[in-house]
Amino acid sequence: MKALIVTADDFGISRNINEAVVRAFREGILTSASLVVGGSAFEHAVELARANPGLSVGLHVVLVQGKSILPHKRIPNLVDRDNNFSHNPTRAGLKYFFRASTLKDIRDELEAQIEKFLSTGLPLDFINGHLNIHVHPRVFDIILELTDGLEMKNFRLPREDLLRTLKCDMSGPASKLFNYVTFTLLSRRCAKALREKGFCFTDRVYGLLQSGDMNAGYVASLMGNLPEGTSEMYFHPCIMPCDEYSRWMPDYHPEEEFDVLVSKDISELLQAGSVHLTNYTTL
């Protein structure tokens, strides 16, 4: 059987992102959304999620390119005085790994993000991370500790098929190879610990190597060759303008990704390929 989870990340960052997410759920193939609890449109996202209970919602952990929940004085090793995390994911990742002084701050901030999500009363269906920071060794170990005892047992592992991705889109091969190797190794480390803790994750994930450019041709090619098992495909839809995307991810194509999610052609490809849409709630 072929099953597919279709997720929109960055739910809660802006009202225009939120509107795109809900429209893609109501009118298209979207099944899930990753909620940024520190986003400026967090309350709006929660309101929309409550009005659309069929939408599976999880926590999108943010430790880079965003704002913290806790103030600077509580986590001075993570954010500036305006509560902004580093804009540079590589620099942040190295800092979190090599500077032991960041670990307590990371734990406190992640605990605050989890608690803020749970305070909404929405079911916490899964956890993933902005720029996949959730599989960073230090971050992952803390997440595993903080989620011990929660009913939530679903986790995104960004493992992608490099050859299949390149067959669908040959652009940026060096960057795709680097991300493939990096996140395959990180995910391999996480998988063993997740299995021991009883977590579930999909067989593969699409979106990492084509992040911000999940265009119609690429997605159609993937849909036509989707392997057996359960896959996740994640997007960054938005109805522009959006100051946050323009500032943090100017190379992304959020309106194109929204169009893909509501495309009748893409929906028909799913039906033709006998692909069953699902979400992490039923994984």
Assign residue 25 the CATH number of its domain. 3.20.20.370
pLDDT in tens, 150-183: 999 999 999 999 999 999 999 999 999 999 999 9
pLDDT tens for the chain, 283 residues long, are 899 999 999 999 999 999 999 999 999 999 999 999 999 999 999 999 999 999 999 999 999 999 999 999 999 999 999 999 999 999 999 999 999 999 999 999 999 999 999 999 999 999 999 999 999 999 999 999 999 989 999 999 999 999 999 999 999 999 999 999 999 999 999 999 999 999 999 999 999 999 999 999 999 999 888 999 999 999 999 998 888 888 888 899 999 999 999 999 999 999 999 999 999 988 7
Per residue, what are the HEC states of the chain?
CEEEEEEEEEECCCHHHHHHHHHHHHHCCCCEEEECCCCCCHHHHHHHHHHCCCCEEEEEECCCCCECCCCCCCCCCCCCCCCECCCCHHHHHHHHHHCCCHHHHHHHHHHHHHHHHHHCCCCCCCEEEHHHHHHCHHHHHHHHHHCCCCCCCEECCCCCCHHHHHHHCCCCHHHHHHHHHHHHHHHHHHHHHHHHCCCECCCEEECCCCCCCCCHHHHHHHHHCCCCEEEEEEECCCCCCCHHHHHHCCCCCHHHHHHHHCCHHHHHHHHHCCEEEECHHHC
Cα 152 to its chain centre, rounded Å, is 16
Beta strands 275-278 and 32-35: pairing type? unpaired
Which pLDDT value is given to residue 247?
Answer: 85
Query: What is the pLDDT, as a whole number, of residue 206?
Result: 97
Contact 232, 277 (CB under 8 A): no
Check residue 225 and give its pLDDT: 83
Residues 198, 155: contact at Cβ < 8 Å?
A: no
Q: Classify the phi-psi angles of 202: left when phi > 0, otherwise alpha if psi is within -120 to 50, otherwise beta.
A: beta
The pLDDT value given to residue 244? 85
Residue span of the structural domain in which 112 resides: 2-282
Domain count, the chain: 1
